[in-house]
Amino acid sequence: MSHSTLTIGLFGFGCVGQGLYHVLQNSKGFKAGIKKIAVKDPHKKRSLSANVFTFNKHELLEDPEINLIVELIDDADEAFQIVKAALQNKKHVVTANKKMLANHLEELLHLKEANGVSLLYEASCCGSIPIIRTLEEYYDNEQIHHVSGIFNGTTNYILTKTLTEKLSYAEALKQAQEKGFAESDPTNDVEGFDPKFKAVIIALHAFGIIAKPNSILNLGITTLSDYDSHYAKEKNYKIKLVPTIQRFKNGAVSLFVLPKFINADHALYAVDNEFNGVLVDGDFSGEQFLKGRGAGGNPTGAAVLSDISALSFGYHYEFKKRQQLEKNTLTQAVSLKVYIRYATLLDLEQLKISTIYEQYTSEYYNYVIAQVDLRELIQSRSYILQHQLFIALVGDTIALSEAFINVEQMVQLN
Ligand SMILES: NC(=O)c1ccc[n+]([C@@H]2O[C@H](COP(=O)([O-])OP(=O)(O)OC[C@H]3O[C@@H](n4cnc5c(N)ncnc54)[C@H](OP(=O)(O)O)[C@@H]3O)[C@@H](O)[C@H]2O)c1
């Protein structure tokens, strides 16, 4: 295959933009030229000469010589305007912006098709882990059963520190911010929005579905208390924030983000600190596991470089799972086995739990292990956050028709 020359217009010269610059300078055998870099703050000191930079996006978007826009800014709304204009101007695009992608997948796919250009975004999901291209190319013909994992390094760092070093949630968050893993406003990470955006993107490539982020449940780790960490330690569990995308026999796919108790024989147990891990379970290949650096300038820059390199050989995503005859559809009708730390019985009534396997009450805290309908959790999200309930997955997800059978069986066994 021939190798085409790419002239890059780069948006953003922060953590990832500088990482890409460094990776490009130091990669052997492949050279792509950055013609201009668009940034925002005219007063910031830069490590490159001033004439490389511009504060006017049109200098890049309207330049006929630039045939690739690499979008690495931290403003999802502005990123969407940039990417949209670039595609309309028939320029290829590489981006790392998961929030922008997850919120506009349908429109972006249409724009890229209509303009005959490529849109690649490996760096948007789990940094250096090549999950998008693995799903697109390796699993193109194999039916996938589920994809799950640790898609967010900030929360994994906080959870590791609270469990292994007994730091409180607030202390661990402060440490993550000091080390540069967490942003000053960590809401997107700690409330589980960031892993949800990644899961929405992954669901497109693994199952061919486009889910609207607003309709997907994300419960993060903001309500984690020392009692929950203590419970996990007592049972030899670790707590991880795990997006789960699972396909059932009838082609229905469920998708949600919840904390999960993980035991020592689970692949995610050993994924600590800022690392990410992705589990893919295929019908024929079985479970496979990828672990790597989910963030940081160089690892994320490496994923961007890989997209640029693929583009130079004419690569584009084919979204093969969207073309399969048997279409998958999104379902929320699933039952989850969860740990719920609650304050009063009203909390349990609100969540309409269906089967209680275990219940503990004390003067300090209460919990149940119970079955709950995902739709009840979605409806009660604000209630859960307001009343500081901590909810974590402890078992498999079951589609509701299967759930009834299993729950009945469990009741008989009890
Ligand atoms: N950091 C990571 O490890 C990581 C990992 C995976 C994906 N990502 C994604 O990569 C993207 C960039 O993240 P980052 O961590 O590199 O952000 P960052 O360090 O905060 O840098 C953001 C850059 O964007 C520029 N910028 C902001 N608004 C702009 C605008 N309207 N026009 C032009 N430039 C603008 C800023 O300009 P100034 O320099 O003038 O302020 C800055 O250079 C985000 O979408 C993020 O979600 C990041």
Residue 202, domain CATH: 3.30.360.10
Name 98's Cβ contacts closer than 8 Å, sequence gap at least 6.
121, 124, 125, 194, 197, 198, 201
Tell me, using a 6 A CB cutoff, whether residue 60 lines ligand 1.
Answer: no
Asked if residue 231 and residue 346 are part of one domain, the reply reads yes
Beta strand extents in 191-237 (DSSP E only)? 217-218
Query: Has residue 255 been placed in a domain?
Result: yes
pLDDT at res. 407: 41
| Side chain identity at residue 374, one-letter code | L
Q: Compute the distance between CA of residue 34 and CA of residue 36 in angstroms, rounded to an integer.
A: 6
Tell me, using a 6 A CB cutoff, whether residue 41 lines ligand 1.
Answer: yes
What domain range is 212 assigned to? 141-293+328-413
Asked if residue 278 and residue 197 are part of one domain, the reply reads yes
DSSP state of 67: -
pLDDT at res. 412: 34
Tell me, using a 6 A CB cutoff, whether residue 38 lines ligand 1.
Answer: yes
Q: Mutation test of ligand 1: which of 22, 23, 34, 40 has the most ligand atoms closer than 8 Å to its C-beta?
A: 40
Write out the catalytic residue numbers.
198
Number of domains making up the chain: 2
Q: Which residue carries 């020359």 as its tokens?
A: 5
Longest CA–CA span in the chain (Å) reads 75
Asked if residue 405 and residue 261 are part of one domain, the reply reads yes
Strands 144-150 and 238-247: antiparallel
Query: Has residue 128 been placed in a domain?
Result: yes
Query: Has residue 68 been placed in a domain?
Result: yes
Q: Are 384 and 223 in contact (CB under 8 A)?
A: yes
Separation of 18 CA from ligand 1 center, angstroms? 10
Separation of 323 CA from ligand 1 center, angstroms? 34
Asked if residue 314 and residue 335 are part of one domain, the reply reads no
Asked if residue 213 and residue 289 are part of one domain, the reply reads yes
- Alpha-helical segments (H) within 267-365: 297-312, 320-323, 345-351
Domain C-terminal end among 277, 308, 323: 323
Tell me, using a 6 A CB cutoff, whether residue 44 lines ligand 1.
Answer: yes
Assign 303 to helix, strand or coil: helix
Domain C-terminal end among 277, 306, 323: 323
Query: Has residue 392 been placed in a domain?
Result: yes
For the chain, list residues with pLDDT below 50: 403-414
Q: Are 343 and 387 in contact (CB under 8 A)?
A: yes
Query: Has residue 1 been placed in a domain?
Result: no
Element (H, E) at 250: none
Q: Are 99 and 125 in contact (CB under 8 A)?
A: no
Q: Compute the distance between CA of residue 405 and CA of residue 381 in angstroms, rounded to an integer.
A: 27
Of ligand 1's atoms, which has the minimum distance to the CA of residue 42? 40
Query: Has residue 202 been placed in a domain?
Result: yes
Asked if residue 183 and residue 220 are part of one domain, the reply reads yes
Of ligand 1's atoms, which has the minimum distance to the CA of residue 296? 3
- List the Cα angle 237/243/246 in 5-degree steps: 105
Distance of CA 149 to the CA centre of its chain: 9
Asked if residue 173 and residue 81 are part of one domain, the reply reads no
CATH number for 105: 3.40.50.720
Domain C-terminal end among 306, 323, 340: 323
Q: Compute the distance between CA of residue 254 and CA of residue 336 in angstroms, rounded to an integer.
A: 11
Asked if residue 242 and residue 114 are part of one domain, the reply reads no
C-alpha distances in angstroms, 193 versus 123, 186, 255, 344?
17, 10, 13, 28
Asked if residue 195 and residue 161 are part of one domain, the reply reads yes
pLDDT at res. 248: 92
Distance of CA 136 to the CA centre of its chain: 17
Q: Are 371 and 351 in contact (CB under 8 A)?
A: no
Tell me, using a 6 A CB cutoff, whether residue 127 lines ligand 1.
Answer: yes
pLDDT at res. 240: 98
pLDDT at res. 414: 28
Tens digit of each residue's pLDDT (9 = 90 or more) over 224-246: 999 999 999 999 999 999 999 99
Separation of 103 CA from ligand 1 center, angstroms? 18
Asked if residue 186 and residue 266 are part of one domain, the reply reads yes
Of ligand 1's atoms, which has the minimum distance to the CA of residue 71? 11
Q: Compute the distance between CA of residue 152 and CA of residue 374 in angstroms, rounded to an integer.
A: 22
Asked if residue 122 and residue 174 are part of one domain, the reply reads no
Task: Report the candidate in 189, 134, 328 with the shortest Cα–Cα distance to residue 245.
Answer: 328
Query: Has residue 13 been placed in a domain?
Result: yes
pTM of structure: 0.95
pLDDT at res. 350: 98
Residue 370 has φ and ψ, to the nearest 5°, of -150, 170
Protein residue closest via CA to atom 14 of ligand 1: 15
Asked if residue 355 and residue 306 are part of one domain, the reply reads no
Protein residue closest via CA to atom 27 of ligand 1: 73
Assign 329 to helix, strand or coil: strand
